[in-house]
């Protein structure tokens, strides 16, 4: 089955969590320190080769600024996959991610594959001399908390760094694996 299976994927999440940066890392293997906010949405494509199929992602990278919220349904309608992004150093961004998941589960395709991605893990520093070994500076969203939420709502879960590249390919590869062959 060498003919690529086209998969429409949408990225959603609060402004500045790193949606465009994740796409730029996945598509071009690049990172920009001062990426400009997305206006409306951006469209990019990238293939993902698995053992038994080739997926061609048609990616809609939406704008997180509140004034663009009403455009989102145009992009998630008919989407087969969604990546909902938050910033692990900003607790409020997980609340926003949860509200996107709720909207998707009410309004999008009922079979949509949703991944939750906690981005910017490069900003989390382990504090080695701390008595509590689980304490990390910079982090506002504990991994276990987000993972438990993702499990409860049937989402794939990842922590990523668009800056360093950690976890970025996994997001798209695991989504590709969950897309049924037609």
Please give the residue ranges that form the binding site for ligand GTP (CB under 6 A). Answer: 13, 15-21, 32-35, 37-38, 63-65, 119-120, 122-123, 161-163
Q: Which residue has the tokens 């920009």?
A: 32
User: Residue 43 pairs with which residues in a beta bridge?
Assistant: 60
| Residue 119 touches Mg ion, criterion: CB under 5 A | no
- Residue with smaller CB distance to Mg ion, 19 or 90: 19
Q: Say whether 84 sits in a helix, a strand or coil.
A: strand
Query: Which has the closest alpha carbon to 81: 1, 162, 19, 172?
Result: 172
Read off the DSSP letter of residue 2: -
Q: Distance between CA atoms of 13 and 92, rounded to whole angstroms?
A: 11
**Phi and psi for 62 in degrees, rounded to 5?**
-85, 165
- Residue with smaller CB distance to Mg ion, 156 or 162: 162
17 binds, among ligand GTP, Mg ion, none (CB under 5 to 8 A by kind): ligand GTP
122 binds, among Mg ion, ligand GTP, none (CB under 5 to 8 A by kind): ligand GTP
- Among 11, 13, 20, 86, indicate the residue that binds Mg ion (CB under 5 A): 20
34 binds, among ligand GTP, Mg ion, none (CB under 5 to 8 A by kind): ligand GTP
User: What are the start-end ranges of the E strands in the chain?
Assistant: 5-13, 41-49, 54-62, 81-87, 113-119, 125-126, 136-137, 156-159
Q: Distance between CA atoms of 178 and 29, rounded to whole angstroms?
A: 23
- Residue with smaller CB distance to ligand GTP, 39 or 148: 39
Residue 74 CB, nearest approach to Mg ion (Å): 16
33 binds, among Mg ion, ligand GTP, none (CB under 5 to 8 A by kind): ligand GTP
Q: Which residues within the stretch 31-60 sit at the binding site for Mg ion (CB under 5 A)? A: 38
Name the site residues for Mg ion (rule: CB under 5 A): 19-20, 38
């Amino acid at each position: 089955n060498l003919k690529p299976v086209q998969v429409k994927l949408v990225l959603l999440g609060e402004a500045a969590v790193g949606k465009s940066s994740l796409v730029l890392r996945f598509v071009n293997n690049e990172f920009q320190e001062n990426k400009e906010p997305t206006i409306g949405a951006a469209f990019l494509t990238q293939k993902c080769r698995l053992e038994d199929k080739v997926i061609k992602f048609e990616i809609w990278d939406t704008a997180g600024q509140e004034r663009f919220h009403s455009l989102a349904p145009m992009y998630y309608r008919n989407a087969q996959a969604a990546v909902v992004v938050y910033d692990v150093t900003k607790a409020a961004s997980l609340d926003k991610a949860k509200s996107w998941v709720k909207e998707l589960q009410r309004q999008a395709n009922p079979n949509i594959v949703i991944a939750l991605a906690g981005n910017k893990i490069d900003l989390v520093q382990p504090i080695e001399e701390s008595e509590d070994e689980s304490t990390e500076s910079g982090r506002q969203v504990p991994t276990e908390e987000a993972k438990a939420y993702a499990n409860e709502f049937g989402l794939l879960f990842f922590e990523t760094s668009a800056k360093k590249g950690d976890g970025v390919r996994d997001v798209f590869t695991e989504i590709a694996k969950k897309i049924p062959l037609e």
